[in-house]
Amino acid sequence: MNDGYDSHLRHLAAGEQAGSRFVLMAPRRSPLGVAGANISNRPGASLEFRDHREYQPGDDLRRIDWSAFARTDRLTVKLYQEEVSPHLDLLIDGSRSMALEGSAKLEATLGLAAVFAVSASNAGFSHCAWQAGEGCRRIEGGTRPPLEWAMLDFSYSGSLSDSLARTRPQWRNRSIRVLLSDLLWPGDPLLTLHNLCRDASAIVVVQILAAADIEAPEHGNVRLVDSESGDLREVFVDASTARRYTDALERHRQNWSRACRQAGAVIASIVAERVVQDWKLEELLAAGILGAV
């Protein structure tokens, strides 16, 4: 237990150090159903008018901007400074596959969680860390610096999509939401993205894969262990099997990329072993998710 906790702290500390070089960027792309919504550059709590968003059933009719309706024939409601104060809700996949044995996946996941928390603070954002498991729970201490978070649990055997469907987190309205996951479960990505997008100002999906996830198994008899269920399976891998594996993974990644475009989310894919080598995070910089301090 102590060894596991110490390694968690080391990985979080590495991420905190790396995160000091970055600021979280507010993606320009908005999720579906969110229009005219911008995040303010600085936190605040005044009732100063800041922006508009589309009217949604249940909104206070007193907030409708009737002058804008007269100009555009579209119903919008006014947003005030307190509603657009920048906030990050960070969701970490607690599935067993995120702690794949013999890989740097756990190290990269914890480190990246810390990077996002610190880079959010550098940008003037508040933050809250969540983890998806049997339910989607707020991490104890998750609004504080990462080294003060309670130890995260990577023992969930279900899918993140099921976790979100089971428990709707009390995320901040209009927050930026960042998902850290390998995305390696079957099903329609749009179902997961729908739950993430609800009342969000922006969605970022960071796919964390181990080199072992990407590389096809070596030729010959291979014993495969399902990291979620623990089931063992003996298979013979030849060139055809390896090709089917890589093709299936690429189709799955393309499905997620296509779904993110449809949902107005930003997606980036990284390899854990490359990330922990130098923490340059070039993929996240190129995608406009992070900026250099």
The tens digit of pLDDT for each residue in 182-220 reads: 999 999 999 999 999 988 999 999 999 999 899 866 666
What is the arithmetic mean of pLDDT over 121-143?
Answer: 95
Q: What is the pLDDT of residue 31?
A: 74
User: Which domains, from first to last, does the chain contain?
Assistant: 2-30+85-292 (3.40.50), 49-83 (no CATH)
How does the average pLDDT of the chain come out, rounded? 85
Q: Is the predicted pLDDT of residue 14 greater than 90, yes or no?
A: yes
Determine the Cα–Cα distance for residues 179 and 166; give it in Å rounded to an integer: 17
Most confident of 60-64, 174-178, 234-238: 174-178
Contact 223, 233 (CB under 8 A): yes
Q: What is the pLDDT of residue 67?
A: 82
* Residue of 272 and 235 predicted with greater confidence: 272
Assigned token pair, 100: 């794949």
| Residue 10's pLDDT band (cuts 50, 70, 90) | very high
Among the residue ranges 7-21, 70-84, 118-132, 256-270, the one predicted with the least confidence is 70-84
Q: What is the pLDDT of residue 36?
A: 38
Among the residue ranges 65-79, 138-152, 212-226, 267-281, the one predicted with the least confidence is 212-226
Q: Give pLDDT tens digits for 77-89.
A: 776 544 557 899 9
Cβ-based neighbours of 235, under 8 Å, separated by 6 or more: 217, 221, 222, 224, 241
Residues linked to residue 235 through DSSP beta bridges, in sequence order: 222
| Residue 29's pLDDT band (cuts 50, 70, 90) | low
| Residue 44's pLDDT band (cuts 50, 70, 90) | very low
Assigned token pair, 46: 């005044």
Q: What is the pLDDT of residue 45?
A: 38
* Residue of 146 and 76 predicted with greater confidence: 146
Q: What is the pLDDT of residue 27?
A: 75
Q: What is the pLDDT of residue 69?
A: 79
Cβ-based neighbours of 11, under 8 Å, separated by 6 or more: 106, 107, 110, 111, 114
What is the arithmetic mean of pLDDT over 156-184?
Answer: 92
Q: What is the pLDDT of residue 35?
A: 41
Reduce the DSSP state of residue 122 to 3 states and report it.
helix
Assigned token pair, 67: 């002058």
Q: What is the pLDDT of residue 58?
A: 58
